[in-house]
């Protein structure tokens, strides 16, 4: 997985705002309601930038399916290339100084074999032996679980984004969490108008801890 260059990201963000000046007004309105929206175009760009390596998903498509996200991607499992599509909903959020845990529900999973249809996995898919209503149970077929995957069962997945090396290993991210987590939490992630809206919640009682974190980092 490639690590995005911050300077390149800033340049692309500036170009995007020039092409979409309405995003500035939307951001200001959202800030008044403790909400900020991430354009799904930004998620598409990151998916392209982070793609790399033999095991990484390919040809990722991301679309809004309010309040969730519809995704399609090509993966390789047990040596068999498969096109997967599904809708994902964020239902549990826990942002702390030492973890960013997201509970996801996956719905409408479809798998299409792109390679040798005589492979063992292809046979399981075509025969209906794999229960696509419980995608979390398919983790047992993965040769190596993603670092961020904490738990998977039935249609539920739990991720800890800090376990992704590019995120958890970034000092700027960990410092920002120590400062912001005591006073700002995330109460919902929902899509709307081709944006992923992050709804925040304020915790004034955490101001002292946030100030202490700022002083510790000086």
Quick one: pLDDT at residue 6?
64
pLDDT given at position 113: 87
| Domain boundaries defined on the chain | 6-217
Arithmetic mean of pLDDT, 68-84:
89
> How would residue 54 be classed by pLDDT, with cut points 50, 70 and 90?
low
pLDDT value at residue 75: 85
Higher pLDDT, residue 57 or 9: 57
Q: Could you give the percent of the chain with pLDDT greater than 70?
A: 91
* 44 vs 124, more confident: 44
Give the tens place of pLDDT for each residue, 110-160: 998 887 777 787 888 888 888 889 999 887 667 678 889 999 999 999 999
Question: How high is the pLDDT of residue 126?
Answer: 80
CA distances 51 to 3, 99, 161, 201, Å, are 10, 24, 17, 32
Kindly report whether the global pTM for this prediction surpasses the value 0.85: no
Q: How far apart are CA 60 and CA 87, in angstroms?
A: 13
The confidence score (pLDDT) of residue 65 equals 95
Condensed to tens digits (0 to 9), the pLDDT of residues 164-212 reads 887 888 888 889 999 999 998 889 999 998 999 999 999 888 889 888 8
DSSP string, 72-128: EEEEEETTEEEEEEEEEEEEEEEEETTEEEEEEEEEEEEEEE-S-TTSHHHHHHHHT
């Amino acid at each position: 997985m490639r690590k995005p260059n911050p300077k390149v990201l800033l340049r692309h963000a500036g170009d995007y705002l020039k092409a979409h000046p309405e995003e500035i007004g939307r951001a200001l309105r959202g800030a008044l309601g403790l909400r900020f929206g991430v354009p799904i175009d930004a998620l598409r760009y990151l998916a392209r930038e982070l793609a790399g390596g033999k095991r990484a998903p390919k040809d990722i498509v991301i679309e809004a399916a309010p309040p969730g996200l519809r995704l399609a991607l090509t993966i390789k499992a047990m040596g068999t290339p498969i096109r997967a599509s599904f809708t994902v909903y964020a239902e549990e959020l826990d942002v702390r100084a030492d973890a960013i845990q997201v509970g996801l529900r996956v719905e409408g999973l479809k798998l299409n074999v792109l390679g040798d249809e005589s492979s063992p996995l292809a046979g399981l898919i075509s025969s209906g032996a794999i229960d696509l209503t419980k995608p979390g149970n398919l983790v047992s077929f993965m040769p190596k679980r993603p670092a961020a995957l904490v738990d998977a069962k039935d249609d539920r997945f739990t991720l800890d984004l800090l376990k992704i090396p590019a995120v958890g290993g970034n000092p700027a991210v960990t410092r920002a969490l120590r400062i912001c987590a005591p006073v700002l939490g995330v109460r919902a992630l929902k899509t709307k108008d081709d944006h992923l809206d992050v709804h925040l919640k304020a915790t004034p009682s955490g101001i002292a801890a946030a100030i202490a974190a700022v002083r510790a980092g000086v």
